[in-house]
Structure 1
Amino acid sequence: MADEESRWPALVPSASLSLGHAQEQVLAEQTTADIVALLLDIPDMREATARSIVLHYISEHVRAPVLLPDLPQPRYYLYHLVLACREIPDGLQLLVRAIEFVAGPTAAVAHLKRMLSPVRAHLEPVVETQIEDLLSGLRIPSLTRLYVAATGNGIATVPFRLTDAWDAFSALLDHNTAPGKPSPHLIFVAMLLQTMQTRQTSGSAGTEEAWRLKRLRDWLARQTEQLRGAGDVAQADYLDRMRDRSGVLSTRADKPIYLIIQLEPLPDLVEDEVVFRLSHWRQIHPLEWRPEPGEDEVVTMSSVRERVGALIHEAEHGWAYELDDSLVLEFVLPLDMINLDVDRWTRDALEMPDPPPLGAEYEILVRSQERLRAFGFHRAWRQRWQVLVDAVDGLTYWAAPGEPAHPRPMGDRLLSRREIVACVLSGPPDREPGRSELWKALRAGVPVVLWHRADRPAPEMREAVRQVVDRPDIRTLPTDIRRLRGNAPSDDHNGGSALELTLLWDDPNHFLDDSSALRAPASRM
């Protein structure tokens, strides 16, 4: 235990290792050599042009020329620059602003800002060193989203490209704390622990990550204990709940981001063409389902594909650009439109040569608008979804092509077997018997339904689907279907994929706002 304590003093209860934000302790003053070493970690500061701009920036702000010897060696020049800034009131903070102007919000600049920050320290230097050892090199999916969630602000607050967990943690050390909440760096660790625990449960974490998980839990337990000792019981309880909760996004080890698109027919006609309300949401929180609504639009059927492509383009070039996670597309459709071939749409402009279909780029999930609003169906739906998540007893029901248009036996079988979590229709649901089969599956709470849109799918395509759906664990089915679409041969008639397949993947935890418009939607016609 002695060796362990000497290596990890952050885990040892000691009055000298308490949380700095509850004290009035200021970071120890850095020596000139220390600051020069930090500056040399910034590539721009090794360039003469960048150094001259920094010098001019400082001179302009103090309204007097700052005279330095013309030394070509960066280390010597920066040493004299730091000495000069120490003679100027708030000169080191001015130096930081000048360097951030030149070099931008990089990780090295963030480190410099933190080390020269006049604000009180959150952690003792020795504790910060130990947590740095645990977080440096720890690269997990959704890191940027964990950072954003810890700050409680938008994606625009990400200061630089985060390469590992230490980048995120260190940037959060100087972030503002919301009233009544723990410090953002502690919230980040709590969410990080939940993510790492999910990865370990799913078998995605290696031995080293499991070791870090244990050490981080010990570290956070020590911080919450210190919070309670300082009288911040509510903040400590908040961290405990966040660390130990089982998130609603635990179905899969990765944490994709979502663009949810809903189409709802409207009674009006425009130039004899049916119009729709197009609603959309984005889902970026890494641990909770919190879809953020966008502006509604009114579109005609002929313009729906173009508008959906524009929404995906806006995501890829905007809010999803900074995130490294997979983008999943969910289409919430009424039963009359549920057979749309949305996986064959594209986000590229019409003039682009050979545009790839959405089903080759993204996981495409169709959802039932009617079931989402029919609360009387939700209890059975949630029960079957839990069977799917447990991945032990799940069964798939294959509707027989010869069954009558209103197959009572199918409905009875679905209602009597709670292990059935998926159903493959005998035909498309825009006609019988597929229409009745789909409704009986939805009515029974079956969360996953598949069907071939072609009347007579090729035997090899039907067999390929059987191999990925006929098993107890179908949690990876959306990824499997995307892979099948990419590997399927081309259809000789239309040049597209021979796999004309729709996947209805309906997670009962993925609720949306009330779909009725709260404002007049903007027209895009």
Structure 2
Amino acid sequence: MTQHPSPGADPRRHIEGELVDLLSGMHLLHQPDSRRLLVGKLRERLSDHGVNDYDNPRMQSIEIVRVCLLDLATLIEVLAFFEPAAAHLGPLHRLRHEIDAVELLTAEDWTELRPALSAHRPDSLGWLYQRATDHKTATPPSWCVSAWDVFVYLTGQNAPAHGLPPNMLFLVLLEYEVDRATARVIRERNRRQASLLDLTEDLDLRRARVNAGDRTPEPYVYLVIQVEPDLAPGSTVYTVSHYRQWQGAQGWHSRRHGQLTDVAHADLESTVERIVHQMEIEWSDRRADVAVELVLPVELLNEDVAWWRKEPASAHLEQKVLAMDYPVVVRSLNRLRQPEWHRAWRRRWEHLQAEPAHSRLFRSRPDGAAYLTRLEAELTADPRWSTLLLSAAPTPGNPLGFKEVMTALRAGLPVIVWHRTRPSDTEFWEEIRDMTADGRIARLPVHARQARLDALALEPHADRHSGRHLVVLWDDPDRTPELHPPGDRLGRPA
């Protein structure tokens, strides 16, 4: 590799050198025919700037950089036309944004910050980007793989009317994710910039807030799949809508990404499989964990959704189920369609979130004809009841299970738990009590996922573990699918 001047001494010369190295290493430049086609396409796109022909790949690269240095966006578009999956495109995007940032960054940024941040690729990079941009977009561009990439991409983006520019805020948040030496470089850099921009007070305030704990990310983004029965007389089909949700500065964002009608009951599993497959492709560059939720009518709540197929078996792989990769919970479509029940629901959810250690688990034990009335009275009397353990699963053979579910929903309980295949005995009660005690209720979907993984580890004897048939209804009233009016829900990417 050619030695380039220090980027602090002359960032443009350093970037030029990197560009030449990258281009001359591309297979495209080493084949005479493809090199001529590339030069011809560049001439078409850069009609005011001729690109001379050279037989030597490095000389051709130097010529291309000479012409395109200030229009790298066009160069990248042309290269992507020839090699859309080229590994060089990511670094080229970064160099393009470095050129744009040359006048905005100091010599110290290039000599001290650049090497320090280029070495850091924290798992929280996506969340840090979201916070720095006030959650205006869900994820940074896919080429942003290091902290330096994100910093350069944010440099020059519009700052808010009051407060720190996005690249400075990104560094404030990043300071708590890196080693001491890099944190010191970040602090000194931000202090210099804040003094120049008269933002020292804003910087101190933001650092104090972050230091006090204002940096905990929402750990999940959500794929929410809603299954709604067709209400036409005699109909046995469903409409399946799917949403993507992530937390923003002003609350939750929810976008509908598709809707399928006339889906038969037998096709629900394969429909969900296709939706999950599509999500994994489109969210392949997201760093946050994904949770899957199914909003179901009461008659479908006992479907074995956590064990629905994610990927089919192949020649060398076993089938994979949703429970292997995600926390999977069900939610209530019936309550979503009963707005008069929402106030009680919201109040209990808020109490659960504020004081999870004081949240209470109620075990349903039917004892007579008036049991459901007594059950609802007991639940209503104490706002600390957040979770109901059903006496048995809601199935056509056990209509009482449906009534227990609906009673808990009307009373506002956000969490309902049951065993899919057998009544809730003492052993299962104790397991659920352990999962929800001492504030653990706040992470019940995660504990349920671990129980399912424990069951999967016992295959082919998974049925022996209660995690195989554990169902969790986990219903957040602040994160319903239909957060926006109909005209704002169609086909918008997360």
With structure 1 as the length reference, what TM-score do the two structures score?
0.69
> Cα 1:135–1:420, aligned 2, differ >3 Å: closer, same or farther?
farther
1:505 matched to which residue of 2?
Answer: 474
* Number of corresponding residues: 457
Larger mean CA deviation between 459-468 and 435-444 belongs to: 459-468
2:393 matched to which residue of 1?
Answer: 428
Give, in angstroms, the shift of residue 387 of structure 1: 3.6
Q: Deviations over 1:72-103 (max 9, x none)?
A: xx9xx56x964x568x6x45346885577275
Q: Where is the helix percentage greater, Structure 1 or Structure 2?
A: 2
- The one-letter code matched in structure 2 to 1:109 is L
User: Does 2:258 align with 1:292?
Assistant: no
Which runs of structure 2 are paired with 1:82-161 in the superposition (5 Å)?
A: 82=62, 90-93=67-70, 98=75, 101=79, 106-117=89-100, 121-127=103-109, 132=114, 135-141=117-123, 143-144=125-126, 147=129, 150=133, 152=136, 158-160=141-143
> Cα 1:255–1:105, aligned 2, differ >3 Å: closer, same or farther?
farther
Give, in angstroms, the shift of residue 310 of structure 1: 1.1
Contact 2:291–2:328, Cα closer than 8 Å, also in 1: yes
2:46 matched to which residue of 1?
Answer: none
Give, in angstroms, the shift of residue 64 of structure 1: 6.2
Give, in angstroms, the shift of residue 106 of structure 1: 4.1
Give, in angstroms, the shift of residue 315 of structure 1: 0.9
1:442 matched to which residue of 2?
Answer: 409
- The one-letter code matched in structure 2 to 1:126 is E
> Cα 1:357–1:115, aligned 2, differ >3 Å: closer, same or farther?
closer
> Cα 1:221–1:415, aligned 2, differ >3 Å: closer, same or farther?
farther
Give, in angstroms, the shift of residue 293 of structure 1: 0.8
Q: In structure 2, the residue corresponding to 1:340 is in which secondary structure? A: coil
2:276 matched to which residue of 1?
Answer: 312
- The one-letter code matched in structure 2 to 1:503 is V
Which runs of structure 2 are paired with 1:197-276 in the superposition (5 Å)?
A: 208=178, 253=217, 255-268=219-232, 274-276=236-238
- The one-letter code matched in structure 2 to 1:384 is R
Q: In structure 2, the residue corresponding to 1:296 is in which secondary structure? A: strand
1:479 matched to which residue of 2?
Answer: 446
Give, in angstroms, the shift of residue 377 of structure 1: 3.6
Contact 1:189–1:220, Cα closer than 8 Å, also in 2: yes
- The one-letter code matched in structure 2 to 1:435 is F
2:433 matched to which residue of 1?
Answer: 466
Give, in angstroms, the shift of residue 428 of structure 1: 1.6
> Cα 1:361–1:192, aligned 2, differ >3 Å: closer, same or farther?
farther
Contact 1:448–1:504, Cα closer than 8 Å, also in 2: yes
- The one-letter code matched in structure 1 to 2:296 is L
1:24 matched to which residue of 2?
Answer: none
Q: In structure 2, the residue corresponding to 1:289 is in which secondary structure? A: strand
Q: In structure 2, the residue corresponding to 1:267 is in which secondary structure? A: coil
Structure 2 portions without partners, runs of 5+? 1-7, 44-48
Contact 2:247–2:253, Cα closer than 8 Å, also in 1: yes
CA distance in 1, matches of 2:76, 2:270: 44
Contact 2:359–2:385, Cα closer than 8 Å, also in 1: yes
Larger mean CA deviation between 217-226 and 401-410 belongs to: 217-226
With structure 2 as the length reference, what TM-score do the two structures score?
0.72
CA distance in 1, matches of 2:259, 2:215: 26
Contact 1:41–1:108, Cα closer than 8 Å, also in 2: no
Give, in angstroms, the shift of residue 349 of structure 1: 4.6
1:186 matched to which residue of 2?
Answer: 165
User: Does 2:308 align with 1:345?
Assistant: yes
- The one-letter code matched in structure 2 to 1:512 is P
Larger mean CA deviation between 499-508 and 220-229 belongs to: 220-229
- The one-letter code matched in structure 1 to 2:352 is L
CA distance in 2, matches of 1:417, 1:470: 17
CA distance in 2, matches of 1:292, 1:339: 27
Give, in angstroms, the shift of residue 379 of structure 1: 3.8
Q: Deviations over 1:107-147 (max 9, x none)?
A: 53234323444x77333343565654774444444534654
User: Does 2:430 align with 1:451?
Assistant: no
> Cα 1:510–1:316, aligned 2, differ >3 Å: closer, same or farther?
same
CA distance in 2, matches of 1:492, 1:85: 63
Contact 1:145–1:284, Cα closer than 8 Å, also in 2: no
CA distance in 1, matches of 2:104, 2:408: 55
CA distance in 2, matches of 1:193, 1:416: 46
User: Does 2:141 align with 1:172?
Assistant: no
> Cα 1:315–1:435, aligned 2, differ >3 Å: closer, same or farther?
same
CA distance in 2, matches of 1:505, 1:210: 40
Larger mean CA deviation between 501-510 and 469-478 belongs to: 469-478
> Cα 1:312–1:265, aligned 2, differ >3 Å: closer, same or farther?
same
Identify the match of residue 163 of structure 1 among 131, 145, 148.
145
Contact 2:389–2:418, Cα closer than 8 Å, also in 1: yes
Which runs of structure 2 are paired with 1:316-395 in the superposition (5 Å)?
A: 316-317=280-281, 319-349=282-312, 355-389=319-353, 390-395=355-360
Identify the match of residue 411 of structure 1 among 364, 376, 380.
376
Identify the match of residue 24 of structure 2 among 41, 45, 54.
45
Contact 1:141–1:254, Cα closer than 8 Å, also in 2: no
Give, in angstroms, the shift of residue 322 of structure 1: 1.8
- The one-letter code matched in structure 1 to 2:477 is P
> Cα 1:108–1:248, aligned 2, differ >3 Å: closer, same or farther?
closer
Q: Deviations over 1:21-52 (max 9, x none)?
A: xxxxxx996565x345424763x634686467
Q: In structure 1, the residue corresponding to 2:362 is in which secondary structure? A: strand
Give, in angstroms, the shift of residue 481 of structure 1: 0.7
Give, in angstroms, the shift of residue 292 of structure 1: 0.6
2:239 matched to which residue of 1?
Answer: 277
Contact 1:264–1:276, Cα closer than 8 Å, also in 2: yes
Contact 1:172–1:185, Cα closer than 8 Å, also in 2: no
> Cα 1:40–1:286, aligned 2, differ >3 Å: closer, same or farther?
farther
Give, in angstroms, the shift of residue 300 of structure 1: 2.1
Q: In structure 1, the residue corresponding to 2:438 is in which secondary structure? A: coil
Q: Deviations over 1:148-184 (max 9, x none)?
A: 78394686x8251x3332221212336xx56x85799
Give, in angstroms, the shift of residue 383 of structure 1: 3.6
> Cα 1:465–1:306, aligned 2, differ >3 Å: closer, same or farther?
same
CA distance in 2, matches of 1:420, 1:41: 65
CA distance in 1, matches of 2:295, 2:51: 63
CA distance in 2, matches of 1:276, 1:512: 17
User: Does 2:378 align with 1:399?
Assistant: no
> Cα 1:94–1:52, aligned 2, differ >3 Å: closer, same or farther?
farther
Q: In structure 2, the residue corresponding to 1:418 is in which secondary structure? A: coil
